[in-house]
Structure formats: structure tokens, C-alpha cells
């Protein structure tokens, strides 16, 4: 549980008692590579934290999958439309490696929000951090060219370049695999 406690306190500092309450609700689960945690157009209000492994969120269209998020150790994973609004999500989340996660059901966390102000504030901080990450991805996609997006990925998340298939990276960057190969060749 030490890893889980560290993940919790990295989001926001809370008392040992509140941390223990929160930790007691999580269950450690193991899933194989290619497992779908969430399926597009289905409702699942579960939240996970990645202990080990990697995941990608994507939206499937008629023509292709559009990858818009990667999660690694320490990241929260949720279909936020399901988690917050209790409605079907717009994304699928696939595990790209054998993965160990901490799982928490929304209804259990919601009860703690009602009874423990520290945990309620922790949940608010978690959502604030997630909003900032979404905003950063959106701004990057709108304001930077593909080469700059790739350079930022190299700088900020070099581990992804070693662990993720090139076609997923290209989709995440909003380019074709051929364009990604060109960019990689230019940067070397």
C-alpha cells in the first residue's frame, strides 16, 4: 500500500487518518496487455490509479482510432463522463502492457466526500490536476506543429517513446505514421 499512499499524497496532502480511509477503499487488480478498462459508449464510474503498466485512451471512428491520452505509473484513469455524470463515456481505454492498478468505485468515494472534508478536497485537487492536463494537451494540439509536439513529448515523457507503438504515438500527435517517421529522422 505504500505506493498507493504516495499516489494519494502526490495529489494533495491529507492526514494519515484520511489517507487510511481512502486506501481502505481501493482494490489492487491485475490485467493483461490489450485489456479494455473502459469501452466507448458504455457507462463505468470506476477510477483507477496505475501502479505499473501503461494505458491509452482513444476514440474509435469509422476510419481509425484517435489516441488522445497515455497514462503511466501514478496516473489516474477514468472515463470522466461516466465517473462524474454517470453517463456513457466517449472513449475506450486499452492497456498497452500487463498492468497493475488500484481500483475504486465512484459510489464508495462519493460517500467519503460527504463525510470527510479532507478527502473531498483531495478529490477536488485530483480533478483540478486532470483539467490542467487536458488543457495542456488541447493547447498543444491547437497551437504547436507536429514537430514541436513530438519534441515536447521527447522532453516531457521520453519513456513513452520506448514503450508505445509508433502508430499510437502518431495518432496521439495527430499525424500519420509516415509523418512521424520523417519527424524522427529529421530530429536525429
**CATH, residue 112:** 2.60.120.10
Q: What is the DSSP string of 38-84?
A: E-TT----EEEEEEES-EEEEEE-SS-EEEEEEE-TT-EEE-HHHHH
Q: Is 162 within a domain?
A: no
How many CB atoms are closer than 10 A to CB 63? 6
Backbone angles phi, psi at 78, to 5 degrees: -155, 155
Helix (H) or strand (E) holding 4, with range, is helix 2-11
> How far is residue 108's CA from residue 114's CA, in Å, rounded to a whole number?
10
Residue 63: per-residue pLDDT: 85
Domain extent for 27: 2-143
**pLDDT attached to residue 188:** 77
Give the total number of structural domains in the chain.
Answer: 1
Q: Per-residue pLDDT tens for 79-104?
A: 988 888 889 999 999 999 999 999 99
- Identify the pLDDT of residue 1: 54
List Cβ neighbours of 126 (8 Å cut-off, separation of 6 or more): 11, 12, 76
Output the pLDDT for position 62: 84
Check residue 131 and give its pLDDT. Answer: 93
Residue tagged 463515456 (cell numbers):
89
Pairing of the two strands 46-52 and 76-78: antiparallel
Give the pLDDT score at 2.
Answer: 61
Asked whether the CA dihedral 26, 29, 34, 37 is positive or negative, the reply is: negative
Distance, CA of 29 to CA of 51 (rounded, Å): 10
The reply to whether 159 falls in a domain is no
pLDDT digits (tens, 9 = 90+) for 112-139: 999 999 999 999 999 999 999 999 999 9
CA atoms within 13 A on the CB side of 179: 14
Q: Does the predicted model carry a pTM greater than 0.85?
A: yes
In a domain, residue 157? The reply is: no
Q: Is residue 109 part of a domain?
A: yes
Residue 154: inside a domain: no
Q: Which residue positions in the chain have pLDDT lower than 70? A: 1-2
Torsion sign, CA atoms 160, 164, 169, 171: negative
List Cβ neighbours of 163 (8 Å cut-off, separation of 6 or more).
54, 72, 96, 97
DSSP three-state, residue 126: helix
In a domain, 161, yes or no: no
Q: What's the confidence (pLDDT) of residue 64? A: 86
- Please indicate, yes or no, if residue 132 is contained in any of the structural domains: yes
Residue 175 domain flag: no
Amino acid at each position: 500500500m505504500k505506493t498507493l499512499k504516495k499516489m494519494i499524497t502526490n495529489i494533495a496532502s491529507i492526514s494519515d487518518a484520511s489517507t487510511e480511509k481512502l486506501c481502505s477503499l481501493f482494490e489492487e487488480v491485475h490485467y493483461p496487455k490489450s485489456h479494455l478498462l473502459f469501452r466507448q459508449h458504455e457507462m463505468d464510474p470506476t477510477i483507477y490509479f496505475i501502479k505499473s503498466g501503461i494505458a491509452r485512451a482513444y476514440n474509435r471512428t469509422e476510419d481509425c482510432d484517435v489516441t488522445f491520452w497515455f497514462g503511466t505509473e501514478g496516473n489516474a484513469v477514468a472515463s470522466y463522463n461516466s465517473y462524474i455524470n454517470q453517463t456513457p463515456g466517449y472513449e475506450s481505454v486499452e492497456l498497452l502492457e500487463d498492468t497493475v492498478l488500484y481500483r475504486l468505485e465512484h459510489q464508495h468515494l462519493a460517500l467519503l466526500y460527504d463525510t470527510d472534508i479532507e478527502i473531498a478536497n483531495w478529490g477536488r485537487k485530483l480533478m483540478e490536476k486532470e483539467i490542467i492536463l487536458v488543457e495542456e494537451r488541447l493547447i498543444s494540439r491547437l497551437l504547436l506543429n507536429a514537430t514541436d509536439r513530438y519534441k515536447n513529448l521527447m522532453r516531457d515523457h521520453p519513456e513513452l517513446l520506448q514503450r508505445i507503438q509508433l502508430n499510437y504515438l502518431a495518432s496521439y500527435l495527430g499525424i500519420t505514421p509516415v509523418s512521424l517517421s520523417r519527424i524522427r529522422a529529421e530530429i536525429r
